Structure 1
Amino acid sequence: MNLCTDQLAMLLAGPGQLHSVSHIALDPRSSAMTKEAAGYVINHGLAEEIYLMQPDLVLAGAYSGQATVRLLRRLGIPVVRFQPANSLEDVGERIEQMGAALHQIGKAQTMRADFEARLADFGAETGRNPRAILYYANGYSAGDATLAGRILLAAGFANAAGETGLAALRKLPLEVLAMANPDIVITARRYPGTSRSEQILDHPVVQALRENRRGAVMSDQDWVCGTPYVLRAIETLSTARRALTGER
């Protein structure tokens, strides 16, 4: 019922254990596991379709499908809900929570240990910490109290959004972006036919910052969820940082 729980379940489920994932798991703009998702029955988060599957357990996000979750529980179907990951520490906890839900505790512990070991390798890197700002559609940015902000820090950047007083995911006015004067502006990958919300990324202020300094583009699927795929996002950003600072 939720993209992030879908991906954790696909990573940890045993053969025949997982029956259905949400339709968003097939969307390459959001999902890091589209090929894997194609092997499952697809649902749209509707109580009636999920009930007819007669699952032993439903995995849901904390804020998705509220009415669906309530109805499924009234119908006697157990639902386990997962809070979103707001830090890299949360990723390991969500892995173990999913492992417990699927009775794959050993597999989850191994995955968490591998994730944390690979994450520690990034922490061992030294060098300059350029000031970066994440800038999304509709003018949103992410502070340090978000998973995206933590990914930025893990890659060796300083999050300039925090200097503006931004802690969570909030709108960052263009004038504040300009005054922050970051060394690099990082935006999400754009797709043909996307919404007007992305037009702000074409604003002269954003374009000037990207042209006069440097810009980087990230794929949303690598860091939208608290899964081990965030390591790929950290690696991409770490490479961008080294290119910016001239490090090898």
Structure 2
Amino acid sequence: MWGCVRRSDRLGAAFIALISAGFLLAVPARGETSAPVAPARVVSMNLCTDQLALALADQGQIVSLSHFATDPNMSVRWKQAEEYPENYGRAEEISILHPDLVLADTWSNPDTIAMLKTLGLRVEQLPPGTSLPEIRARITTMGALLGHPDRAAKMLTGFDARLAAIKRPAPGLRAAVIGPSGYGYGPRTLEGQILAMAGFDNVVSGPGLDWGGRLPLEDLVMDRPDLVIMGGSQGKMGTSRAQAVLEHPVLRDLPTVQGLRDARWTCGGPAMLGAVADLAAFGRKIERNKATQ
């Protein structure tokens, strides 16, 4: 009997020793940190996460992009996106791809997000980047999520250099960005940020208009802006009643421009700087014209 007990004790001690040895092997030594493993199967279900993922990910790291990614009116990387399968942001089609990272926006369908998380998938929702600090933070976050923080840092360096090199008109020019139904984009929107970065004051501003609102055409005419940028969300004029307001005769006497808004106005990121540069050049042209009048 005593021999059996002693034998059992010896087996127990040996088992504990093995567990302890495995634990010690698994725990890194003090001062050491294990590098996070970069995701190998990334699915993006949002147009703006598509754009950053395409810019920062490894070849083959992405397994699917949103169906908007191949639309040249919305996506600056539409040609590159054609190499990838598309998704419509549905939980069932995303889950069968077995992603180890799903990229979404904070405005993505909450039911889809909840279902993906219930299925045990990792979902990261990035806030929309409108202000310059938000855009910079979004780039840094995306680089970290994809396991390429060095690429994100390099992108930010280039972003800052390009922004600093843009030649803006002198302060004082006023502009408005007007969309369907006469909706004006306020200073907190990406459109408003592009105006500010290009050196324009935004006509659509004031109490309750941080994010914009419907702007009566009479008010717009009375404000006499130096420039009115018109068009839909991708800068194209349509045939709907909402678009028809942009062809109202009262606008003919205003300095309006159509087609200036394109895919570069869609997402906060490096591509938007091309839109900023073009708008700033337009502002300098207006400035020169004023000087000769």
TM-score above 0.5: yes
Question: Could you give the per-residue CA deviations for residues 152-193 of structure 1, whole angstroms, max 9, x where no partner exists?
Answer: 0111111122268632132112222122111111113215x6
Match of 2:285 in 1: 243
CA distance in 1, matches of 2:213, 2:164: 29
| Count of aligned pairs | 242
The answer on 1:187 being equivalent to 2:230 is: yes
Hey, what does 1:205 align to over in structure 2? 250
Corresponding residue for 2:266? Answer: 224
Shift in alpha-carbon separation, 1:43–1:12, aligned structure 2, 3 A: same
CA distance in structure 1 between the partners assigned to 2:88 and 2:68 by the alignment: 8
Q: Secondary structure at the match of 2:162?
A: helix
Contact 1:92 1:116 in 2 (8 A): no
User: What pairs up with 1:137-216 in 2 under 5 angstroms?
Assistant: 137-162=180-205, 166-188=209-231, 189-190=235-236, 195-209=240-254, 213-216=255-258
**TM-score, scaled to structure 1:** 0.91
Aligned-residue sequence identity (percent) comes to 42
How many angstroms does 1:125 deviate by? 4.0
Select which of 111, 117, 120 maps to 2:155.
Answer: 111
Q: Equivalent residue for 1:66?
A: 110
Amino acid at match of 1:219: R
Q: Is 1:34 aligned to 2:78, yes or no?
A: yes
TM-score by length of 2: 0.78
CA displacement at 1:196 relative to structure 2: 3.2
Unaligned runs of 5+ in 1: none
Judging changes above 3 Å, is the alpha-carbon distance between structure 1 residues 169 and 16 closer, same or farther for their aligned structure 2 residues? same
Contact 2:175 2:225 in 1 (8 A): yes
- Cα distance between partner residues in 2 of 1:98 and 1:79: 13
Partner SS, residue 276 of structure 2: helix
Q: Which structure is higher in RCO with an 8 Å CA cutoff and minimum separation 6?
A: 1
